[in-house]
Amino acid sequence: MTYQVLARKWRPRDFSQMVGQGHVLRALVNALDTQRLHHAYLFTGTRGVGKTSIARVLAKALNCEQGVSSAPCGQCSSCREVEEGRFVDLIEVDAASRTKVDDTRELLENVQYAPARGRFKVYLIDEVHMFSNSSFNALLKTLEEPPPHVKFLLATTDPKKLPITILSRCLQFNLKRLSAEQIREQLQKILEAEGMAAERGALDLLANAADGSMRDSLSLLDQAIAFTNGTLAVHEVASMLGTVGTGQVLPLVESLVAGDGPGLLSRARALAEFTPDFAQILGEMLSVLRRIAVCQVLGEQAGTLEEAAEVRTLAATLSPEECQLFYQLGLHGRRDLPLAPEPMVGFEMALLRMLAFKPDPSHAPGSPTPASARVVPSAGATIPDAAPQTGRPPARAEAPKDEAALRPKRPPAAREAAVPVAPLVPPAAAATPPPAVTGERAPTDLPLDWAATVAGMQASGLVREFARHCAFLRMEGDVIELSLTPQSENLRSERQVKGLEQALCQALGRSVILRFTREGSAHARTPAQALSEAEAARQAAATRQIENDPNVLALQRRFGATIERIEPTEP
């Protein structure tokens, strides 16, 4: 007998077998049971979350010989033929292979004819975002007013590429990524039904590697069964995936908490012998640190009993401040891995950075700075290393305002002697305030290259986008007057305005105040409009160049060639 892969064997045959997606199933079940059926449904979501499976079950529910309901019988000829992929009135189309407008017209030629066997003729179009603009235009009218015996089921992983005219004609359902716990529970049920056993840690590895996709998890399970010959042990599944589990990462965190530098690097290099994904190792370390933080704050535990005991021990040893610092440094280290000369080098530097720095509790708000604390002196300043033996603390010099007070950790012996170090985050006094405005009045109506200022300022993405939709009117003294169109008012908020003021203060080197008005907004041009006009000009120039190209004209005359899409290549 031919072996059937698990992803096909365990494809849901009715709504009750679906994993997750309760918000979608509830709407479909109510619609089927009350006969409130729309003519077009759009299912969106990442790969392997059940878009096509839900569409097929819906097609079965619409054409079941027992009647339209949310629970098709699964026994009639229509239900069986839908499951086997040979139901004549279920037309499945892969839009990725039928992108031309002629393919769409050919597909819709038989829409007006009644279904051959079923109650409805169902068009299931997968990856519909791959259609060309001409194909979408050919589909519009039929999609809006199809015959009563036709239902459209569209599925896509990229709904942003669909025209708004298509979206407005469909009921849209966004399928969510499955959690690792949901995937693990389903894998456990499948293995029990298949008569196989697996360690919980192995299923956790498979569920995490699936990255929210049920189909990917079943493919990985098939691979793991073949790799381990049916005995799914943690170390064998980890070897197959090339991943490092929590059990291998916990010793790294233990060395980090103990301040054991040689042991930390020794364990890191032992892991490197398996050529792992170092970003995945850092991610696993971040997961362990999150569990430690949750245990410290809420006392909650997760994972196996052995792992939970180790997490409790680490949570009692590590301070909450150090835990948060390790987590932040790990995030930065993971982000910077592609910039390192080698992944192993970037991984070791991230660990050494965690080992080297720690927050100093003596610099908490309200705590006096001890005499033995050292800071980085400014030019010409002299600071004693320790308090003199007279019992009187020495005079302290302020830290420079443009330097962060960071210090390496002391060795374990030094830390036992309670030698404080400077904090990771500089004191509030070290923050550089915006330059103060002098008493002399600045000139009024200053010219300002607004587009260049927006492009060069340091700001977050939301603040920058808000600034790009503002039009500069005038600058009088320290007041900058901007205008917003009614269409862009939704971008304005108190947080965005404050963020823009701070970014402009830094960019202009002076304190400024923003004032918004609609006066002159009809004639003022924003940087976003200027960019859009430039893009349109580039597109028009590229179109003229292609349409007037002698080779293109020759191909059109000789072979009847058509131009599908023109994209400018110049920046």
What Cα–Cα distance (Å) separates residue 315 from each residue in 51, 288, 311, 326, 358? 42, 10, 6, 13, 16
Task: Kindly state whether residue 548 falls inside one of the protein's structural domains.
Answer: no
* Residue listed under structure tokens 């405005």: 437
Question: Quick one: which of 121, 20, 107 has its CA closest to 78?
Answer: 121
Q: Are residues 17 and 120 in the same domain?
A: yes
> Highest-confidence range of 107-111, 214-218, 367-371, 456-460, by mean pLDDT?
214-218
Q: What is the pLDDT of residue 422?
A: 39
In the block, tokens 């005359």 appear at 557
Q: What is the mean pLDDT of the chain?
A: 80
- Is residue 25 domain-resident? yes
State the pLDDT at residue 571. 55
Domain span at residue 164 reads 6-174
Task: Decide: residue 229, CB within 10 A, 0-12 exposed, 13-18 middle, 19+ buried.
Answer: exposed
For residue 522, name the pLDDT band (cuts at 50, 70, 90). Answer: low
Between 436 and 468, the more confident residue is 468
**Residue closest to 397 by CA, chosen among 387, 416, 384, 386:** 384
One-letter amino acid identity for 456?
G
Q: How confident is the model at residue 61 (pLDDT cuts 50, 70, 90)?
A: very high
Do residues 198 and 160 both lie within one domain? no
Q: Which one is predicted more confidently, 131 or 518?
A: 131
Whether 281 and 215 map to the same domain: the answer is no
* Residue 122 phi, psi dihedral angles, 5° rounding: -110, 125
- 66, two tokens: 């027992």
Q: How many domains does the chain have?
A: 4
**Does any domain span residue 534?**
no
User: CB atoms < 10 A from the CB of 343, how many?
Assistant: 17
Are residue 184 and residue 295 in the same domain, yes or no?
no
Residue at which a domain ends, from 321, 356, 391: 356
Q: Which residue has the higher pLDDT, 84 or 406?
A: 84
Closest CA to 441 of 479, 493, 412, 492: 479
Q: Domain for residue 252, yes or no?
A: yes
Asked whether residue 166 falls in the same domain as residue 61, the answer is yes
388-395 mean pLDDT: 41
Closest CA to 246 of 206, 212, 201, 290: 201
pLDDT (0 to 100) of residue 378: 35
**Average pLDDT score over residue span 20-24:** 89
Of residues 186, 158, 188, the one with CA closest to residue 174: 158
215-254 pLDDT, tens digit each: 999 999 999 998 888 788 888 888 788 777 677 788 889 8
Tell me which residue of 304, 308, 244, 306 sits closest to 279, measured CA to CA: 244
pTM exceeding 0.95: no
CATH number of residue 311's parent domain: 1.20.272.10
Task: Assess whether pLDDT exceeds 50 at residue 414.
Answer: no
Q: Is residue 52 part of a domain?
A: yes
Q: What is the pLDDT of residue 133?
A: 87
pLDDT of the residue at 416: 40
Tokens of residue 16, six digits: 């009750």
Same domain membership, residue 456 and residue 499: yes
Q: In 131-273, which ranges are continuous DSSP H helix?
A: 133-144, 164-167, 180-194, 200-210, 214-228, 234-241, 246-258, 261-272
Q: What is the mean pLDDT of residues 61-68?
A: 91
pLDDT digits (tens, 9 = 90+) for 240-294: 887 776 777 888 898 888 888 898 898 888 888 776 788 888 988 998 899 899 8
**C-alpha 345: how far from chain center:** 26
547 assigned to some structural domain: no
Q: Which two tokens stand for residue 116?
A: 């051959």
Residues 275, 340, single domain; the answer is yes
Residues 243, 248, 253: CA angle, nearest 5 degrees: 120
Among candidate residues 217, 276, 228, the one with its CA nearest the CA of residue 249: 276
Q: What is the pLDDT of residue 218?
A: 92
> What is the rounded average pLDDT of the residues 550-564?
87
- Tokens standing for 43? 């299912």
19, 186 contact by CB (below 8 A): yes
Q: Taking 70 as the threshold, does the pLDDT of residue 318 lie above it?
A: yes
- Cα Rg of the chain (Å, integer): 32
Of 224, 241, 258, at which residue does a domain stop?
A: 241
pLDDT band at 412, cuts 50/70/90?
A: very low
Percent of the chain at pLDDT > 70 equals: 82
Range in 19-28, 349-358, 369-378, 515-524 the model is least confident about: 369-378
Domain-located, residue 225: yes
For CA atoms 182, 185, 190, 193, give the dihedral sign.
negative
Q: Provide the residue count of the chain.
A: 571
Phi, psi of 480 (to 5 degrees): -105, 120
Residues 76 and 206 in one domain: no
Query: Residues 90-141: pLDDT tens digits?
Result: 999 888 887 788 888 888 888 888 988 889 999 999 999 988 888 888 888 8
In this predicted structure, which of 160-174, 220-234, 296-310 has the lowest mean pLDDT?
296-310
Give dist(CA 46, CA 52) in Å, integer. 12
Q: Let me know whether 144 and 37 are in one domain.
A: yes
Q: What is the pLDDT of residue 210?
A: 87
CATH number at residue 14: 3.40.50.300
What is the rounded distance in angstroms from the CA atom of residue 33 to the CA atom of residue 192?
33
- Please state whether beta strands 513-517 and 479-483 pair in parallel, antiparallel, or not at all (unpaired): parallel
State the DSSP H helix or E strand holding residue 326, giving kind and residue range, or none if neither: helix 320-336
- pLDDT higher than 70, residue 433: no
pLDDT higher than 50, residue 473: yes
CATH code where residue 237 lies: 1.10.8.60
Of 125, 155, 174, which marks where a domain is finished? Answer: 174
Residue 48 inside a domain? The answer is yes
Tell whether 162 and 55 lie within a shared domain. Answer: yes
Distance in angstroms (rounded) separating the CA atoms of residues 56 and 153: 9
Same domain, 203 and 137: no
CATH of the domain at 507: 3.30.300.150
3-state SS record for 100-158? CHHHHHHHHCCCCCCCCCCCCEEEEEECHHHCCHHHHHHHHHHHHCCCCCEEEEEEECC
Q: Is 301 helix (H, G, I), strand (E, B) or coil?
A: coil
Res 198: pLDDT? 87
Q: Fill in the amino acid letter for 62.
A: L
189 and 155 in a common domain = no
Q: 279 or 398: which carries more pLDDT confidence?
A: 279
